[in-house]
Amino acid sequence: MSSRLIEYEGYKAKMDFDREDLIYVGQVLDIDDYVGFHGKNEQELIEAFHNAIANYKERNK
Helix boundaries (H) for 1-61: 42-59
Task: Report the half-sphere exposure of 1 (CA within 13 A, side-chain side).
Answer: 15
Q: What backbone torsions phi and psi does residue 48 show, to the nearest 5 degrees?
A: -65, -35
Given strand 36-39, what is the order of strands in its sheet? Answer: 3-8, 11-18, 23-28, 36-39
- pLDDT value at position 49? 98
Write down the pLDDT at residue 3: 86
Domain ranges across the chain: 3-59
Res. 2: pLDDT tops 80: no
Whether the per-residue pLDDT at 43 is higher than 70: the answer is yes
pLDDT in tens, 11-39: 999 999 999 999 999 999 999 999 999 99
pLDDT at 47: 98
Q: ∠ CA(17), CA(11), CA(39), 5° rounding?
A: 30
